[in-house]
Chains A and B, each alone.
Chain A
Amino acid sequence: GAGVSQSPSNKVTEKGKDVELRCDPISGHTALYWYRQSLGQGLEFLIYFQGNSAPDKSGLPSDRFSAERTGGSVSTLTIQRTQQEDSAVYLCASSFNGLPYNEQFFGPGTRLTVL
C-alpha cells in the first residue's frame, strides 16, 4: 500500500511569499502530525490532527503558520510571509489512531528554502 506522500519535495521561495505544503497520509490513519527539522537537528513538533481537528497547535512557531486537514485525509501546512528562518525540512507523519505507542509513518518531507 502507499505510504505517506508529501508535495512538493523541494520548494524555493523568496522572503515574504506564502507557501503551501501538502501531506497525504496513509489511508485509514486518523492521526496526522507535522514536524520541522533543521539541518542536523531533531524533529520539532508543529501540530497534530485527530481526524479534522487539531487539539494542539502550540507547536506552531508563529501566527504565520497554519494548517488544516479536510475529510480526515489530506493536510496542508501554510506559511505566510516566509522568513529565512523558516528554511527547513517539513515532515509529515501519520499513525493509526494517534496514541503515542503507535508507530508514526513518515513522508519523505518537503525541503523549504527561503531566499
Chain B
Amino acid sequence: SQQGEEDPQALSIQEGENATMNCSYKTSINNLQWYRQNSGRGLVHLILIRSNEREKHSGRLRVTLDTSKKSSSLLITASRAADTASYFCATDESNYQLIWGAGTKLIIKP
C-alpha cells in the first residue's frame, strides 16, 4: 500500500534556487523520513522527523511536519547540480514497516 504521496511528481529549477517538495500521508505516524535516490549513490537516508517535532534542519535541508494536515515538506536551499535526484518520503505504518511514496523527481539546471 502507498501511504506517502509526494508532490510535485517532477520539479525543474535553476541551480542556486530553492526546491520545495511535499509529502502527504493517510494514517497516524510516529516518524517520517526523507530519502534521496540518484544513479550515483543509490537510495540514501536524508533526515527523520518525529511526530512531536514540527521542523528539523540538516545542512541545506529543512523538513517540516504538520500532523494535523498529515503532510510534510522538504526544502533544499541554494540547490546544486548534485541535488538532482528523486526524493521519497517514508512513513511508519507498523512496528517495522516503512511505507513509501512514489517520489519527486528533482532536476537542477546549471
Contacts and interface: CB of A to CB of B under 8 A. Distances in A.
Given A101-B30, A101-B92, A106 B43 contact: yes
Given A40-B105, A100-B98, 17 more contacts: A35-B100, A42-B2, A42-B102, A42-B103, A43-B90, A44-B100, A48-B97, A50-B96, A56-B96, A98-B96, A99-B95, A99-B96, A100-B95, A101-B50, A106-B42, A106-B43, A107-B42
A108 B97 contact: no
Contacts of B30: 100-101
5 contacts: A31-B96, A42-B103, A55-B96, A100-B95, A106-B44
A43 B88 contact: yes
Given A100-B31, A101-B30, A45 B97 contact: yes
Interface of A: 31, 35, 40-45, 48, 50, 55-56, 91, 93, 98-101, 103-109
Contact of B96 (A35, A100, A103, A107): A100
Contact of B100 (A42, A48, A55): A42
B99 interface: yes
Given A42-B102, A100-B30, A109 B42 contact: yes
B48 interface: yes
Interface string B79-110: 00000000010101011111111110100000
A103 B33 contact: yes
Contacts of B97: 45, 48, 56, 100
Contacts of B45: 103-105
Contacts of B42: 106-109
A99 B97 CA distance: 8
Contacts of B98: 45, 100, 104
